[in-house]
Structure 1
Amino acid sequence: MVKGHDISIIDLRNKTNFICDYFIICNGESQSQVCAISRSIENRTIEKLQEKPWHVEGIKNGEWILIDYVSIVVHIFQKKVRLYYDIESLWNSKKMKDPN
């Protein structure tokens, strides 16, 4: 199994004007790892929950891939891109760290 690093979960349920309930954010060290993490998430979600993403963006460049499951949006970054955008701070929300 391919795993992302530095996993954060941001609870957006109490934010106004949000369609989704959670952001899940992680990073990989390279373009190929970010793409592998994305494929792993999609495959496991289909396998375990029979759910396909509603929308996926960023596969071609592999710097930041967004997988939209409507109520949950997964952001997979290359580490340098994650640090640059720092979306955890942008939403300044209650963060829940990786439960593992």
Structure 2
Amino acid sequence: MSDILNIAREAAKAALDKKARDVVILKMDDVTIITDYFVICTATNRTQAQAIADNIEDVMKENGMKILHREGLKEAAWILLDYGSVVVHIFQEDMRRFYDLETLWGDAAAVQVKSELG
């Protein structure tokens, strides 16, 4: 297992620690050059989405990952945290259904989020 996959799993675990739902890791390096992994999750409301983002940022910082770009934190309908090799998407339910990244990037392999993470 690569170090980058471990970082993606840490981000997924951080999301689950704040009760994120439907957490998915997509292996992107076979389908695009923009990143190695997407971590995608759902929050039930703005406050939870912001808490998930804050927790992920804390965990990623502890793992030596510097954030390159962040957007959507204030509105929190879709928060994007870009760490280069790992990009985290935190959606509220309607936005996740609308953008449907799993279908858009349907050629990307899903990485199992281990049950011990949740």
Same fold (TM over 0.5): yes
**Contact 1:20 1:72 (8 Å CA) reproduced:** yes
Where 1:43 maps in the other structure, the secondary structure is: helix
Aligned pairs, number: 98
TM-score normalised by the chain length of structure 1: 0.90
- Structure holding more helix per residue: 2
TM-score normalised by the chain length of structure 2: 0.77
Percent identical pairs in the alignment equals 40
**Contact 1:6 1:98 (8 Å CA) reproduced:** no
- Structure holding more strand per residue: 1
Tell me the CA shift for residue 80 of structure 1. 1.4
Tell me the CA shift for residue 2 of structure 1. 1.5
Report the AA paired with residue 35 of structure 1: Q
CA distance in 2, matches of 1:29, 1:23: 20
Report the AA paired with residue 74 of structure 1: V
2:87 to 67, 73, 82: 73
1:49-68 alignment runs, 5 A limit: 49-68=63-82
1:6-85 alignment runs, 5 A limit: 6-16=22-32, 18-47=33-62, 49-85=63-99
What 5-or-longer segments of structure 2 have no aligned partner?
1-16
What 5-or-longer segments of structure 1 have no aligned partner?
none
Please provide the CA RMSD for this pair.
1.2
